[in-house]
């Protein structure tokens, strides 16, 4: 066993961003390393529930303000909103991360957007592992991820066209973020300014863990050389938060339901939930709605439907007829593992690209938000649930998921420096 070290895990984002790093933290802890998790106060309860010493940063209401802003799901304005916040969160996290450093014994493992962790590692010459959850973040010409619904045609363009497009994407990112990030770096003694904030710099020079398998998104030549493709982590705190008794009763009372979830950070899903519930009624399926924001539930639901604020997806998806969701990578991978069809309404961020990949696997259909209405949803669900080719594709991918990289091999990749 390697010498015990201090591992500082820095996840940033919603539950779908935090849980994968908690899974990695469990691997490090199982090898005898001293683990601490530094994350935003709004999601620090997840780390505590997983049993880790947790240092919360910031105020929960700051995240709530972002969640309540409708721009967070706009295909164009969402990134601008986040770009203004990421340097602020980095500034808050830098001194907290520094307090946890043990000289010559520290490794930092951070989500890609945890820029504070990247700056501390750079300034203190600490080994750092960047964790990237989605293929879409490797914004290069070779793979040409789908940046928004409707841009799938970009993949068919000549490489020079794709290169020009993503060059413009990175120019825009730098226009928004390069100044604030370089100012933070200068405050930490890093005087040489950087370019390509989300092209090169945010990727650790030591190791980048891509938390998805080769068959989901093969590695490309223009990805960082230090990128290692691994597997989907499939961690949802199910060991700490089991299936609620009321949910167990609901699941046992009838045919497999259609589970509907807009994502843990979506406070703008009233229409999504209402149209999905009505679609389930039209096709004679029970609806299982999952949202942390009960105020956005429909005022009236079919009597055979149920609503919960939390569901351990890994234990429940396999008991559902289909999953209707936003194409978040965590929800998507749990559905792949369960072998259940997926109906997607991608909006922004990485969701359009993830939706495209799921469609290529033959396990999903997508609907644009503007056409996500009960009739279209019902028709799509009926096709998905009744399709033999979809069922065969789901089973094939379920078998692949069961044969993913062993956790111990992933743990080996955390040993850097």
21-30, 146-155, 359-368: segment of lowest average pLDDT: 146-155
* DSSP letter string, 301-343: --TT-EEES---HHHHGGGSSEEEE---HHHHHHHHHHT--EE
CB atoms within 10 A of CB 3: 8
Number of domains in the chain: 2
| Within a domain: 56 | yes
* Joined tokens for residue 3: 């010498």
Spatial separation of the C-alpha atoms in residues 60 and 43, rounded to whole Å: 8
From the CA atom positions of the chain, what is the Rg in Å? 21
Residues 17 and 137 in one domain: yes
Inter-residue contact 65 to 155 (CB < 8 Å): no
Residues 122 and 254 in one domain: no
- Name the pairing type of β-strands 306-308 and 342-344: unpaired
Inter-residue contact 365 to 264 (CB < 8 Å): no
Q: Is 374 helix (H, G, I), strand (E, B) or coil?
A: helix
Which is nearest to 76 in space by CA: 174, 219, 172? Answer: 172
Residues 164 and 254 in one domain: no
Spatial separation of the C-alpha atoms in residues 126 and 118, rounded to whole Å: 9
% of the chain exceeding 90 in pLDDT: 82
Q: Is the pLDDT of residue 298 over 90?
A: no
Q: Model confidence over 368-387: pLDDT tens digits?
A: 999 999 999 999 999 999 99
Residue, of 26 and 67, whose pLDDT is higher: 26
| Mean pLDDT value of segment 278-286 | 95
Residues 318 and 216 in one domain: no
Spatial separation of the C-alpha atoms in residues 398 and 184, rounded to whole Å: 44
Q: Model confidence over 227-261: pLDDT tens digits?
A: 999 999 999 887 877 888 999 999 999 999 999 99
* Joined tokens for residue 84: 């203004």
| Within a domain: 394 | no
Residues 123 and 257 in one domain: no
| Within a domain: 154 | yes
Residues 171 and 254 in one domain: no
Q: Model confidence over 76-110: pLDDT tens digits?
A: 888 898 999 999 999 999 999 999 999 999 999 99
Residues 175 and 206 in one domain: yes
Q: What is the pLDDT of residue 226?
A: 97
pLDDT range class, residue 388, cuts 50, 70, 90:
very high
| Within a domain: 395 | no
Q: Exposed, middle or buried, 397 (CB in 10 Å: 0-12/13-18/19+)? A: buried
* Joined tokens for residue 127: 């080994």
In terms of DSSP H, where are the helices of 100-211?
115-124, 159-187
Considering the entire predicted model, what is its pTM? 0.94
Strand partners for 306: 288
Residues 48 and 93 in one domain: yes
Q: What is the pLDDT of residue 2?
A: 61
| Within a domain: 399 | no
Residue, of 193 and 71, whose pLDDT is higher: 193
| Within a domain: 393 | no
Mean pLDDT over each residue of the chain, to the nearest integer = 94
The H or E element that residue 380 is part of is helix 374-386
Residues 213 and 264 in one domain: no
Q: Is 41 helix (H, G, I), strand (E, B) or coil?
A: helix
Q: Is the pLDDT of residue 134 over 90?
A: yes
Residues 230 and 249 in one domain: no
Residues 359 and 228 in one domain: no
Sign of the alpha-carbon torsion through 323, 329, 330, 336: positive
- Name the pairing type of β-strands 53-57 and 34-40: parallel
Q: Which domain holds residue 335?
A: 245-386
Inter-residue contact 107 to 29 (CB < 8 Å): no
As a residue count, the chain comes to 417
Residues 250 and 376 in one domain: yes
Spatial separation of the C-alpha atoms in residues 55 and 44, rounded to whole Å: 8
Residue, of 266 and 388, whose pLDDT is higher: 388
% of the chain exceeding 70 in pLDDT: 100
Spatial separation of the C-alpha atoms in residues 212 and 230, rounded to whole Å: 6
Spatial separation of the C-alpha atoms in residues 63 and 225, rounded to whole Å: 34
- Name the pairing type of β-strands 106-111 and 128-132: parallel
| Within a domain: 305 | yes
Q: Is the pLDDT of residue 1 over 60?
A: no
Q: What is the pLDDT of residue 322?
A: 98
Inter-residue contact 292 to 60 (CB < 8 Å): no
| Within a domain: 125 | yes
Helix 77-99 vs helix 60-68: crossing angle, to nearest 10: 170
Supply the CATH number for residue 111's domain: 3.40.50.2000
Q: Is the pLDDT of residue 412 over 60?
A: yes
């Amino acid at each position: 066993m390697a010498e015990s070290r201090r591992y500082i895990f820095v996840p940033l984002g919603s539950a779908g961003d935090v849980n994968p790093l908690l899974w990695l933290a469990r691997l490090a802890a199982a090898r005898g390393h001293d683990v601490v998790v530094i994350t935003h106060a709004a999601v620090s309860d997840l780390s505590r529930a997983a049993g880790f010493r947790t240092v919360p940063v910031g105020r929960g209401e700051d995240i709530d303000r972002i969640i309540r802003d409708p721009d967070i799901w706009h295909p164009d304005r969402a990134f601008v909103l986040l770009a203004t916040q990421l340097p602020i969160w980095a500034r808050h996290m830098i001194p907290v991360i520094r307090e946890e450093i043990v000289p010559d014994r520290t490794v930092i493992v951070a989500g890609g957007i945890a820029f504070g962790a990247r700056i501390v590692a750079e300034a203190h010459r600490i080994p750092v592992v960047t964790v990237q959850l989605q293929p879409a973040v490797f914004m290069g010409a070779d793979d040409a991820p789908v940046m928004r619904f409707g841009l799938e045609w970009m993949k068919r363009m000549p490489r020079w066209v794709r290169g020009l497009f993503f060059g413009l994407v990175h120019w825009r990112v730098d226009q928004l973020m390069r100044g604030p990030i370089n100012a933070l770096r200068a405050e930490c003694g890093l005087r040489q300014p950087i370019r390509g904030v989300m092209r090169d710099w945010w990727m650790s020079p030591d190791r980048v863990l891509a938390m998805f398998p080769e068959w989901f998104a093969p590695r490309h030549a223009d990805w960082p050389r230090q990128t290692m493709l691994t597997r989907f982590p499939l961690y949802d705190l199910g060991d700490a938060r089991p299936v609620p008794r009321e949910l167990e009763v609901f699941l046992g009372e009838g045919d497999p339901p259609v589970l509907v979830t807009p994502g843990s950070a979506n406070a703008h899903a009233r229409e999504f939930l209402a149209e999905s519930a009505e679609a389930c009624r039209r096709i004679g399926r029970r609806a299982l709605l999952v949202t942390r924001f009960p105020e956005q539930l429909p005022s009236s639901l079919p009597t055979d439907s149920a609503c919960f604020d939390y569901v351990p997806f890994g234990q429940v998806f396999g008991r559902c007829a289909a999953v209707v969701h936003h194409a978040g990578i965590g929800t998507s991978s749990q559905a792949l593992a369960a072998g259940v069809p997926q109906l997607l309404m991608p909006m922004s961020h990485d969701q359009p690209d993830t939706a495209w990949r799921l469609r290529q696997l033959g396990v999903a259909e997508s609907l644009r938000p503007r056409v996500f209405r009960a009739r279209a949803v019902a028709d799509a669900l009926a096709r998905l649930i009744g399709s033999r080719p979809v069922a065969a594709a789901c089973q094939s991918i379920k078998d692949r998921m069961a044969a993913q990289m062993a956790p111990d091999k992933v743990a080996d990749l955390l040993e850097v420096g």
